[in-house]
């Protein structure tokens, strides 16, 4: 079985659990499978340290210009998404990368970036409860679903705020590798799925 590439976009003021939760879930799945299933890595605009929310410094594995093509793209949120709405190079990378990706996932206000590049047009989506109005402005053709942990459109899956990214990741792990694999990951993480 070929390993799937999972790219997680990171940027200044990214919400920590938005990227770290999915990173942990997919990485634990890979670890429990003797590192045979996944190649999980972080990607940033440049290959220099990123200052996440509340000052956590993170070093990306790749820049957007050198990252391997992902099978699964994860776009987290946080207040750092607002400046990215004006950064055409990152938006172009998201759009181009998503075209050949098997799945495109967003956590929290990462949905704003998917909306900006047209990936949510005609779909249902969710985001952090504080950003429903902004998401509606950016993507007026998107049906916003409130009071859910995530919304699955097949290729594109959006998660609500922060911790919902873990639930979405475990859901995707179950889709890709089966219920037993997802359950094993959940038990190892001592995480109670909602």
- Per residue of the chain (194 residues), what is the pLDDT tens digit? 689 999 999 999 999 999 999 999 999 999 999 999 999 999 999 999 999 999 999 999 999 999 999 999 999 999 999 999 999 999 999 999 999 999 999 999 999 999 999 999 999 999 999 999 999 999 999 999 999 999 999 999 999 999 999 999 999 999 999 999 999 999 999 998 76
157 within domain boundaries:
yes
pLDDT of 157 reads 98
194 within domain boundaries:
no
pLDDT of 193 reads 73
20 within domain boundaries:
yes
24 within domain boundaries:
yes
What CA–CA distances, in Å, run from 163 to 20, 106, 127, 170?
10, 12, 12, 12
Q: Domain range for residue 183? A: 4-189
Residue labelled with tokens 């290959």: 47
pLDDT of 2 reads 84
CATH code of residue 72: 3.40.50.880
Domain count, the chain: 1
**Helices 164-177 and 16-32, packing angle to 10 deg:** 30
pLDDT tens-digit series, residues 1-51: 689 999 999 999 999 999 999 999 999 999 999 999 999 999 999 999 999
Contact 119, 155 (CB under 8 A): no
65 within domain boundaries:
yes
């Amino acid at each position: 079985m070929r390993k799937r590439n999972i790219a997680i976009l990171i940027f200044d003021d990214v919400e920590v659990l938005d990227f770290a939760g999915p990173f942990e879930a997919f990485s634990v799945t890979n670890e429990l499978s003797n590192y045979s299933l996944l190649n999980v890595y972080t990607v940033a605009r440049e290959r220099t340290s990123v200052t996440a929310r509340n000052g956590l410094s993170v070093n990306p594995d790749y820049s957007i210009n050198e990252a391997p093509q992902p099978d699964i793209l994860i776009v987290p949120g946080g207040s750092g998404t607002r400046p990215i709405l004006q950064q055409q190079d990152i938006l172009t990378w998201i759009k181009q990368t998503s075209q050949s990706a098997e799945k495109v996932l967003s956590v929290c206000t990462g949905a704003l970036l998917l909306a900006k590049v047209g990936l949510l047009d005609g779909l249902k989506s969710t985001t952090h409860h504080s950003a429903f109005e902004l998401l509606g402005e950016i993507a007026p053709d998107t049906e916003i679903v409130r009071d859910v942990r995530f919304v699955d459109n097949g290729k594109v899956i959006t998660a609500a705020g922060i911790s919902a990214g873990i639930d979405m990741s475990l859901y995707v792990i179950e889709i890709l590798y089966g219920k037993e694999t997802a359950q094993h990951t959940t038990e190892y993480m001592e995480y109670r799925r909602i």
